[in-house]
Every structure is written in structure tokens, then in C-alpha cells.
């Protein structure tokens, strides 16, 4: 059926850094992309789609460096169906120990109308571009974008052309989340049975979640014969997102009786990378999200709690430990030492150096002095380190608010070594604080997102605040955690501003904005 040696082995193709980052506002910095790629590589992802090299110089550099750093995964770059894209992609990935060019073109009637190509003209273009890619790289993936809305006869025709031109993986994208499980399985099965040469390549599935069926459609495609799933961490992606890696991996592991397939993913690393992707993208995971949501292994109902106490299997089909989740509180306090803190961080998936530990230890002690009990999630929040230069630093702030009128906020910032104070008024303490920061450091940044969630329960819970700013096409996300929500808000806003300052200095206004629209990508 495929050229995978183990017929029950399903390859995991992660596109968090490409399709996931296309999600509006999810843009990651260069360092964040390298970090996420390293985590994906370490957890056993087979193929990492590191980016779209021709989109921008920043994307090219990130893909190139990921390719050079990768230890286990095959590194893939995306290219449209033209020689310039493919050449640029190859330049970025060619130094990887294992590389792949992924080229695509929209084959449905709607997408053929965009370049205004006839079926024959598009078929010729597919032959030329796939052949060109194969002449550069021995591992080539080809995608007929919007495949699930492409005429059956034409879909078979262009897939055969791509195989003959040298494609080694044929990906079938459900670009707009249009298909359903039975149809998804049947489509893959029929293509493998019908298209000449289909038994010599790997068939892949790429599903979007517009109708909430991405995971089901991907698993159905595997049952139909696909042996590669394209997915993202936390299901990140444009519109309703992509197939979630953690869901398909754990579904095959948990229901191996009816889906007798396996992957190379170390599932104990799932929670850690899920949290890191949420942090760097600024997209917090919904509480009831399958596998990685805060409530995925929580039980509040009295009946459920009683059943859990008697036998965990009553209400848990997976163990929290299987996905790297520790459900216990952190038995550390203000008298705990660095060794105990380091040990706990390592159990949560963090490897830290001595200098980093010293900084975290200071913040941990400060938190322990203010909280009765410190939980795992509190410690994870402390690991959200500021990775921007500290052009702006919060020195102090005082806020007055209530029912008697507008809130008042007095903020003192250190701006490149010089202290400045400003007082402003607003509709609430956060609004007044942001205005005070802007008074001290005038800027044109537009607030795209302001989001608050409690890390743990209780009135002394830490609040994690995410702030996303946009200025001249550049987007920066800042985060901070504090038991005082307004302080966390101020620090998150300053964090985002610091990132914008650094990016402005490195690239100039607008230089890091996407040069190519992603609207037609897979």
C-alpha cells in the first residue's frame, strides 16, 4: 500500500511552525521557532514543516537554522508551484541531514480559477515543478490543495502525474475542513486502488477543523490507507485550526484495538510542548480541550470523584502521566532549596542551566512568600521568561480604582536606564495603566489581544496575562504572571513593547511582516 516498511507505522508531520503560525497573531520570534523545533525533534516527530522560506527573509533564516540543527526529524519547507519558490526552499533545507521539499497547487475548480489555468495547463505545471523539486531533493511531497473539492477524475490524473514526476509523498489536503470521516477514508482508499504508482508512495492527510472533524477525518484517512498525518500542537492554525497532534497520537494509542497503528512520538513530552506553544503563540489552550486542556484530567462531579477514588479506570481512559502531566501540588515552600526546585522543574520537562535557575529561584521565593500553596501550574507560569531586551522595565506602580469614578494609575518605568513617572486615568485599572505606559513611552502599537486566565484556584492565584501588539505590520506577544492581575498586565504590555523595540531595531519598520499572503496555502 505504501513504501513505509512497517505498514502499521503512521508518520507524524508537524506543521505548527508553518500552518500553525499562519493563525492570525500567532507569529513567533526566530528564537521561539528554534525552541519549538527542538522540542518537536526531541519528542519524535517524523517530519517538521519548518516554514515557507520564500515568504520572508526571517522565515528563510529560521528554516535554514532548524535544518542545520535537527538531530532526528526530516526538515521540510513549503513551496508554491514555481521554480523560484522551490529553489528558495531547497536553499533553506539543503543542509539538513534529512530534508523534504513540499510543493503544492490548488486543483479544485475554485482554486484553478485563481491562476486562470485550464486542466491541461495545470497538469503541465505540476509535472514541471515536481520534476524540478525532485532534481534538487530526493524526498518530495506534493499536495493538490482543496483536494476534497476537486473532481475525482482530475484528482486521479494529477496525482498520477506527480508520482511519475518523482513525488515520494502524496498529501491529500482537506483545506477548508469540508469532508467527513467516511468520505475521508473512502477517498484515500479509492485513490490508492485507482491511481497507477500509488503503491510506491506514502499517502498523507491534512485536515482542517472548520466543522470540528479534523481529528476524526485524519484517523479515518489512516484507516483508508494514509500513513502520514499532518497536524499541529494544540490544533493551532488558521480559522478553526488543524488536526491536533496530541489527539491523533493519543487516539491511536488508547484505541489501538480498533486502530492498530503506532507512531514514534514520546507522549510524555506532550504537555510540555503544548504549554510552550501556547506561551509563544499567545493562544491559551481552552480548559476542555482534549488531552492537553486544564480540565482534561479534572473531576469535580461527586459521582465521578467517588468513582475515581475507587478505580481510576472508571472515568479515565488515559493516565495523566502518559502525556507528561503531573496532577499533584508542588510540595515546595519558602524554605525549599535550589536542588529541590531544579528536580521539580526537570520532572515538568524543563532543562535549565545554573544562571537560569538562579533567576527562577528568586521569583519562586517571592511567590512562595505571597502564596499559601505553590502548584505545578504556578511553577510553569514562572518559566515564562522575558526573552526581549529590557529597554523598558517596570520600577513601581500604584493604582486606585473603585465605584467612585475613573481609575487612576501611577507608573514608574526605567527607560534605557532613566526613571520616568506618569499618571493617567482610564475606564479601569488596566486601561489607566496602559495609558500611563504609553505616556512614558509613546508608541503607535495597536492592542490586538488582551487575555487573562488564572493559573490555579483561589484568591491568591497567579494571573497569566497575554498581550499582543501590532505596529507597522510587526506583531509581538508579551506574557507575564503575577498574583496581582494589574501588575501582570503591565509587565505583559511592557514585555510586548520590548519585543517590538528589538524587532524594529533588527529589521526596520515592516521588514518582518509577511511578504506573501498565506490565504491560498494548504
pLDDT per residue as tens digits for the range 8-51: 999 999 999 999 988 877 778 888 999 999 999 999 999 999 99
Q: Alpha-carbon distance 183 to 189, whole Å? A: 10
The per-type count for the chain, helices as H runs and strands as E runs, is 16, 14
325 φ, ψ (degrees, to nearest 5)? -100, 130
Q: What is the pLDDT of residue 380?
A: 73
Q: What is the pLDDT of residue 71?
A: 96
User: pLDDT band for position 311 (50/70/90)?
Assistant: low
User: pLDDT band for position 431 (50/70/90)?
Assistant: very high
Mean pLDDT, range 352-367, rounded to an integer: 83
Share above pLDDT 90 across residues of the chain, in percent, rounded to a whole number:
61
Query: What is the overall mean pLDDT for the chain?
Result: 87
User: pLDDT band for position 341 (50/70/90)?
Assistant: confident
Mean pLDDT, range 154-179, rounded to an integer: 98
Mean pLDDT, range 198-215, rounded to an integer: 97
Residue 508 has pLDDT above 70, yes or no: no
Q: In what order do the strands lie in the sheet with 418-426?
A: 392-400, 407-415, 418-426
User: pLDDT band for position 208 (50/70/90)?
Assistant: very high
Q: What is the pLDDT of residue 218?
A: 98
Tell me the three state secondary structure of residue 520. coil
> By the 8 A CB rule, do 161 and 125 touch?
no
Q: Which residues does residue 13 pair with via DSSP β-bridges, in sequence order?
A: 47, 230
Mean pLDDT, range 442-468, rounded to an integer: 83
Return the ∠ at Cα 128 (arms to 126 and 133), rounded to 5°.
90
Set of cell numbers at residue 320 = 495523566
Q: What is the pLDDT of residue 371?
A: 67
> By the 8 A CB rule, do 155 and 192 touch?
no
Q: What is the pLDDT of residue 214?
A: 98
Share above pLDDT 70 across residues of the chain, in percent, rounded to a whole number:
88
Q: What is the pLDDT of residue 235?
A: 97
Q: What is the pLDDT of residue 42?
A: 97
Q: What is the pLDDT of residue 507?
A: 60
Q: What is the pLDDT of residue 413?
A: 94
Lowest-confidence pick of 92-96, 158-162, 227-231, 418-422: 418-422
Q: What is the pLDDT of residue 457?
A: 67
**Ordered structural domains, the chain, with CATH:** 11-281 (3.20.20.70), 297-323 (no CATH), 330-374 (no CATH), 392-507 (3.30.160.270)
Residues flagged as binding site for Mn(2+): 19, 206, 208, 242
Residue 434 has pLDDT above 90, yes or no: yes
Q: What is the pLDDT of residue 482?
A: 86
pTM of the model: 0.76
Question: Around 405, how many Cα atoms within 13 Å sit in the side-chain half-sphere?
Answer: 4
Q: Alpha-carbon distance 479 to 489, whole Å? A: 8
Residue 244 has pLDDT above 70, yes or no: yes
C-alpha 383: how far from chain center: 18
Q: What is the pLDDT of residue 329?
A: 46
Q: What is the pLDDT of residue 4?
A: 47
Q: What is the pLDDT of residue 106?
A: 97
Mean pLDDT, range 157-169, rounded to an integer: 98
User: pLDDT band for position 3 (50/70/90)?
Assistant: very low
C-alpha distances (whole Å) from 124 to each of 79, 111, 127, 205, 480 are 17, 16, 5, 24, 53
Q: Alpha-carbon distance 392 to 419, whole Å? A: 10
Q: What is the pLDDT of residue 325?
A: 76
Residue 351 has pLDDT above 90, yes or no: no
Q: What is the pLDDT of residue 466?
A: 86
> By the 8 A CB rule, do 30 and 61 touch?
yes
Q: Alpha-carbon distance 183 to 188, whole Å? A: 9
User: pLDDT band for position 384 (50/70/90)?
Assistant: low
Q: What is the pLDDT of residue 372?
A: 62
Q: What is the pLDDT of residue 194?
A: 98
404-416: pLDDT as tens digits: 789 999 999 999 8
What sign results for the dihedral spanned by CA atoms 365, 477, 231, 352? Answer: negative
Residues flagged as binding site: 19, 206, 208, 242
Q: Running DSSP on this structure, what letter comes out for residue 200?
A: G
Q: What is the pLDDT of residue 340?
A: 78
Catalogue the E-assigned strands of 1-86: 11-14, 47-51, 74-80
Lowest-confidence pick of 114-128, 170-184, 329-343: 329-343
Amino acid at each position: 500500500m505504501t513504501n513505509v516498511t512497517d505498514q502499521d507505522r503512521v508518520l507524524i508531520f508537524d506543521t505548527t511552525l508553518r500552518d500553525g503560525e499562519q493563525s492570525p497573531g500567532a507569529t513567533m520570534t526566530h528564537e521561539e521557532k528554534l525552541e519549538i523545533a527542538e522540542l518537536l525533534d526531541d519528542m519524535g516527530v517524523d517530519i517538521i514543516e519548518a516554514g515557507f522560506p520564500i515568504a520572508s527573509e526571517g522565515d528563510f533564516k529560521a528554516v535554514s537554522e532548524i535544518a542545520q540543527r535537527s538531530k532526528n526529524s526530516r526538515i521540510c519547507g513549503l513551496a508554491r508551484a514555481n521554480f523560484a519558490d522551490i529553489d528558495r526552499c531547497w536553499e533553506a533545507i539543503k543542509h539538513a541531514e534529512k530534508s523534504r521539499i513540499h510543493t503544492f497547487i490548488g486543483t479544485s475548480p475554485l482554486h484553478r480559477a485563481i491562476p486562470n489555468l485550464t486542466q491541461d495547463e495545470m497538469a503541465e505545471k505540476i509535472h514541471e515543478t515536481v520534476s524540478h523539486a525532485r532534481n534538487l531533493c530526493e524526498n518530495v511531497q506534493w499536495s493538490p490543495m482543496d483536494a476534497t473539492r476537486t473532481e475525482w477524475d482530475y484528482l486521479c490524473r494529477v496525482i498520477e502525474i506527480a508520482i511519475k514526476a518523482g513525488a515520494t509523498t502524496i498529501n491529500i489536503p482537506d483545506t477548508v475542513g469540508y469532508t467527513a470521516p467516511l468520505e475521508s477514508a473512502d477517498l484515500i482508499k479509492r485513490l490508492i486502488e485507482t491511481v497507477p504508482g500509488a503503491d510506491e508512495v506514502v499517502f498523507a492527510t491534512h485536515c482542517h477543523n472548520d466543522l470540528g472533524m479534523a481529528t476524526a477525518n485524519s484517523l479515518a484517512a489512516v484507516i483508508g490507507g494514509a500513513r502520514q498525518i499532518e497536524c499541529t500542537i494544540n490544533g493551532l492554525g488558521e480559522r478553526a485550526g488543524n488536526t491536533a497532534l496530541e489527539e491523533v497520537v493519543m487516539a491511536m494509542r488508547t484505541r489501538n484495538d480498533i486502530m492498530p497503528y503506532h507512531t514514534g512520538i514520546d507522549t510524555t513530552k506532550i504537555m510540555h510542548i503544548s504549554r510552550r506553544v501556547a506561551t509563544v503563540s499567545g493562544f491559551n489552550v481552552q480548559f476542555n480541550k482534549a488531552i492537553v486542556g486544564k480540565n482534561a484530567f479534572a473531576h469535580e462531579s461527586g459521582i465521578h470523584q467517588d468513582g475515581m477514588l475507587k478505580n481510576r479506570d472508571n472515568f479515565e481512559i488515559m493516565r495523566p502521566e502518559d502525556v507528561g502531566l503531573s496532577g499533584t501540588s508542588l510540595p515546595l515552600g519558602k524554605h525549599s532549596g535550589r536542588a529541590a526546585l531544579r528536580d521539580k522543574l526537570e520532572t515538568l520537562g524543563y532543562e535549565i542551566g545554573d544562571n537560569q535557575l538562579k533567576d527562577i529561584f528568586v521569583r519562586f521565593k517571592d511567590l512562595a512568600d505571597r502564596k499559601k500553596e505553590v502548584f505545578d501550574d504556578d511553577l510553569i507560569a514562572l518559566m515564562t521568561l522575558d526573552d526581549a531586551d529590557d529597554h523598558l522595565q517596570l520600577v513601581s506602580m500604584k493604582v486606585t480604582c473603585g465605584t467612585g469614578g475613573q481609575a487612576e494609575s501611577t507608573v514608574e518605568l526605567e527607560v534605557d536606564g532613566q526613571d520616568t513617572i506618569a499618571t493617567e486615568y482610564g475606564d479601569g485599572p488596566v486601561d489607566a495603566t496602559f495609558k500611563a505606559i504609553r505616556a512614558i513611552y509613546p508608541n503607535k502599537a495597536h492592542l490586538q489581544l488582551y487575555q487573562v486566565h488564572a493559573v490555579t484556584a483561589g484568591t491568591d492565584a497567579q494571573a497569566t496575562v497575554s498581550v499582543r501588539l501590532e505596529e507597522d505590520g510587526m506583531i509581538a506577544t508579551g506574557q507575564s504572571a503575577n498574583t496581582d492581575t494589574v501588575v501582570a498586565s503591565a509587565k505583559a504590555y511592557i514585555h510586548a513593547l520590548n519585543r517590538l523595540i528589538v524587532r524594529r531595531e533588527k529589521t526596520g519598520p515592516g521588514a518582518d511582516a509577511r511578504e506573501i499572503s498565506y490565504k491560498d496555502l494548504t
